[in-house]
């Protein structure tokens, strides 16, 4: 097996927490050589957040496997010089500093493109690089609230709650990866001599990602002025499409089209449901329709109803917790959780990669790095000669010993 479809791509990542590191991890999983620049002595704040070995939490491990770590003090001239030397040879740069910080550190877009005009330069910010809030700090929780997704999340009729995972961070990481690939595609299709016209910079905001996830809520509001509250486990347009209690637990299922309604009525065994043949009918009488289905589902076990629903070809599933997901047959079949032997922790599990490349099945090729683990080897290559490397070291480029 080869190293992945991005095996020839070199990426420099100067990010912390989750959005930027997750983007880098997606690229590294697909074979890119990702060098992570971290602050000497501290590194990515995620290193110390959550369970795991000292300086390498599970949170950090999940989002930084397959990378190399170097430390640079960008407040020193030598550190900036070393960083620019590394970026001069890179295809991609990902950063998530506050607005304007990279310019102050000497690694802004103009600084980097003076040496490497073809680099793709991705900036991740809370609010992006334009608009009245561009200088404001932004974290996932705040932006879930501000971007609207919290307003439609939570028990129906209850108070808004946050999504149970950092969906703004993770979605921003994915959108950034898409943007990077789009810029690389654009760069690859420029004609000879067109490199001066290439602008590889773009930015993504967590706020942008959350608002984008609001999707049809925004369009529906423009049509009828509707401002929905928390949706619970029901759907904003389809009935039924939600969680149902069973005799021993619960499941989720739905009817995606009217032409399957008669089959669903037969499956449930309640002929009165036939009075609501269209989704419009069912939406108008949702309490009645859902009540009849719930009443019937509560007479048998989850396993019974899942077997029936699968037999009839309806989408359905159990409500799994983390342990269930880890041990789920579909999870294992798709390598969505992979076994890993970390040198600092031992045996553990890491999330797999969501895109299945049948000819590139080696997802985790190396563990999340220790802080600065690859500083010497990476900059020995970059410096070009021992004298330059020694000068950088002596002038504090890599931080204190």
Indicate whether 328 pLDDT > 50.
yes
Tens of pLDDT along 108-122?
Answer: 999 999 999 999 999
pLDDT of residue 322: 96
In this prediction the pTM is 0.93
Indicate whether 401 pLDDT > 80.
no
d(CA 372, CA 384): 20
Tens of pLDDT along 91-103?
Answer: 999 999 999 999 9
Mean per-residue pLDDT, 119-132 = 97
Mean per-residue pLDDT, 60-68 = 97
Mean per-residue pLDDT, 197-209 = 95
Mean per-residue pLDDT, 233-260 = 94
Q: Are 97 and 14 in contact (CB under 8 A)?
A: yes
The DSSP code sequence of 57-94 is: -HHHHHHHTTEEEEE--TTSHHHHHHHHHHHHT-SEEE
Structure tokens at 179: 């943007």
Q: Which of 8-22, 119-133, 385-399 has the lowest mean pLDDT?
A: 385-399
Confidence of residue 161 (pLDDT cuts 50, 70, 90): very high
For the chain, give the mean pLDDT.
Answer: 94
pLDDT of residue 359: 83
Residues 289, 295, 298: CA angle, nearest 5 degrees: 135
d(CA 119, CA 127): 23
| Residue spans in the chain of domains classed CATH 3.30.1540.10 | 241-320
Mean per-residue pLDDT, 232-244 = 92
For domain 10-213+356-394, which architecture applies?
3-Layer(aba) Sandwich (3.40)
Determine the distance from the C-alpha atom of residue 256 to the mean position of all C-alpha atoms in its chain, rounded to a whole number.
27
pLDDT of residue 194: 53
List Cβ<8 Å contacts ≥24 apart for 162-168.
166/18, 166/140, 167/140, 167/210, 167/213, 168/19, 168/140, 168/143, 168/144, 168/206, 168/207, 168/209, 168/210
Cβ contacts of 21 within 8 Å, gap of 6 or more:
13, 15, 36, 44, 46, 60, 63, 64, 173
Q: Which of 259-263, 288-292, 346-350, 383-387 has the lowest mean pLDDT?
A: 383-387
| Residue spans in the chain of domains classed CATH 3.40.50.10540 | 10-213+356-394
Indicate whether 175 pLDDT > 70.
yes
d(CA 364, CA 237): 40
Catalytic residue (one of 140, 169, 203, 342): 169
Q: For residues 360 and 193, which has the higher predicted lDDT (pLDDT)?
A: 360
d(CA 356, CA 192): 34
Q: Which of 15-19, 191-195, 390-394 has the lowest mean pLDDT?
A: 191-195
169 is catalytic: yes
Mean per-residue pLDDT, 3-12 = 93
For residue 168, give the nearest of 148, 182, 190 by alpha carbon.
148
Indicate whether 193 pLDDT > 70.
no
Helix (H, G, I), strand (E, B) or coil at 147: coil
Helix (H) or strand (E) holding 122: strand 120-125
Mean per-residue pLDDT, 290-295 = 97
pLDDT of residue 1: 37
The fraction of the chain above a pLDDT of 90, given in percent, is: 90
Q: Is the omega angle on the peptide bond into residue 218 within 30 degrees of 0, that is, cis?
A: no
The DSSP code sequence of 155-166 is: STTS-----SS-
Indicate whether 191 pLDDT > 80.
no
Which CATH code is given to the segment(s) 241-320? 3.30.1540.10
Helix (H) or strand (E) holding 25: helix 19-29
Cβ contacts of 258 within 8 Å, gap of 6 or more:
277, 278, 279
């Amino acid at each position: 097996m080869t190293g992945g479809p991005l095996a020839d791509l070199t990426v420099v990542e100067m990010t912390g927490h989750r959005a930027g590191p997750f983007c880098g991890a997606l690229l590294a999983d697909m074979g890119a050589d990702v060098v992570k620049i971290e602050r000497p002595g501290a590194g990515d704040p995620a290193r110390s957040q959550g369970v795991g070995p000292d300086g390498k939490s599970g949170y950090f491990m999940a989002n930084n496997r397959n990378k190399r770590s170097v430390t640079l003090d960008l407040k020193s001239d030598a550190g900036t010089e070393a960083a620019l030397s590394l970026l001069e040879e890179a295809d991609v740069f990902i950063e998530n500093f506050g607005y304007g910080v990279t310019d102050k550190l000497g690694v802004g877009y103009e600084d980097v493109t003076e040496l490497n005009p073809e680099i793709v330069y991705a900036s991740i910010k809370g609010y992006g690089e334009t608009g009245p809030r561009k200088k404001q700090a932004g974290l996932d929780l705040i932006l879930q609230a501000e971007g609207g997704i919290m307003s439609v999340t939570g028990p129906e009729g209850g108070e808004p709650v946050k999504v149970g995972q950092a969906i703004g961070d993770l979605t921003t990481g994915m959108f950034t990866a898409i943007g990077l690939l789009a810029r690389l595609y654009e760069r690859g299709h420029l004609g000879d001599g067109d490199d001066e016209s290439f602008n590889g910079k773009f930015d993504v905001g967590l706020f942008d990602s959350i608002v984008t996830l609001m999707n049809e809520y925004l369009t529906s509001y423009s049509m009828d002025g509707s401002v929905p509250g928390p949706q619970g486990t029901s759907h904003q347009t389809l009935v039924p499409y939600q969680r149902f209690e069973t005799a021993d637990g619960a499941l989720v299922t739905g009817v995606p089209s009217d032409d399957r309604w008669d089959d669903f009525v037969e499956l449930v065994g309640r002929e009165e449901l036939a009075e609501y043949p269209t989704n419009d009918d069912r939406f108008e009488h949702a309490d009645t329709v859902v009540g009849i289905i719930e009443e019937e589902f509560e007479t048998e076990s989850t396993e019974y109803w899942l077997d029936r629903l699968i037999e009839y070809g309806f989408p359905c599933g159990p409500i799994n917790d983390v342990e269930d997901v880890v041990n789920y047959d579909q999870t294992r079949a798709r390598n969505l959780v992979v076994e890993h032997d970390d040198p600092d922790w031992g045996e553990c599990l890491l999330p797999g990669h969501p895109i299945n490349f049948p000819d590139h099945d080696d997802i985790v090729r190396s563990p999340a790095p220790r802080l600065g683990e690859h500083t010497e080897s990476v900059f020995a290559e970059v410096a070009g000669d021992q004298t330059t490397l020694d000068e950088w070291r002596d002038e504090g480029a890599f931080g204190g010993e």
